[in-house]
Amino acid sequence: MNFEKYIANAKASSFGLWKLNMGLGYMIPFNKPHRIKIKTIEDNKVTTIIPYKRRNFNHIKGVHACGMATAAEFASGFLLLTKLGAKNYRLIMESLEMKYVYQAKTDIVAHFELDDNWVDEKVKNPLKTNESVMVKCEIKLFDTANNHVASGYTNWQIKDWKKVKTKL
């Protein structure tokens, strides 16, 4: 699968975005039943959405906290891999922290953005002298009325695939 081609098409058209989301549903099967999708994608920004559907409800009919955490993790991981290149770097989420501030009673969108300078400063340059780096990403989550419902903080370990050692 030519990941870069699907991302470029998703930036250019709604049909391209639909195709990318369909492919991601198969590549990341955990997200598929919850219907977490990419809503918008730009060069430096991604927005994911978790729908207000029964399967995503908690006991008080709000969007479940773990669903929102997954949407946040998906947004940051996807944009990092898009910027870095999945063939070049391995990402492993070290930890995830959520701060909930408002009840989620509609679709929830997770916004994450970073630019090339951040990637160079926090990832690429440190990897020239270190085997791996840890980066912390902040993802903001909002409801359809633009109420800030939560903030997610993902800590990613990033490593060049050439330096990854695995047991066979």
How far apart are alpha carbons 31 and 168 in whole angstroms?
Answer: 28
Q: What confidence score (pLDDT) does residue 28 get?
A: 84
Q: Which domains does the chain have, with CATH numbers?
A: 3-163 (3.10.129.10)
Average pLDDT, the chain: 92
Beta strands in the chain (DSSP E): 37-41, 45-50, 89-100, 108-113, 132-143, 148-160
Region 60-70: mean pLDDT is 92
d(CA 62, CA 66): 11
What pLDDT shows up at residue 118? 96
User: What are the CA-CA distances from residue 111 to residues 17, 78, 88, 119 (Å)?
Assistant: 16, 12, 25, 17
In this prediction, residue 108 has a pLDDT band, given cuts at 50, 70 and 90, of very high
Res 78: pLDDT? 95
Read off the pLDDT band of 135 (50, 70, 90): very high
Average pLDDT score over residue span 73-99: 93
Rounded Cα gap, residues 21 and 17, in angstroms: 6
pLDDT of residue 168: 57
What is residue 167's predicted lDDT score, i.e. its pLDDT?
A: 61
Measured in Å, how far apart are the chain's first and last C-alpha atoms?
A: 25
Determine the average pLDDT of the residues in 74-87: 92
> Which distant-in-sequence residues (6+ apart) come within 8 Å of 141 by Cβ?
68, 71, 72, 104, 108, 109, 110, 111, 148, 149, 150, 151, 152
Contact 147, 79 (CB under 8 A): no
Nearest to 139 by CA among 130, 148, 126, 127: 148
Q: Grade residue 87 by pLDDT with cuts at 50, 70 and 90.
A: confident
How far apart are alpha carbons 35 and 145 in whole angstroms?
20
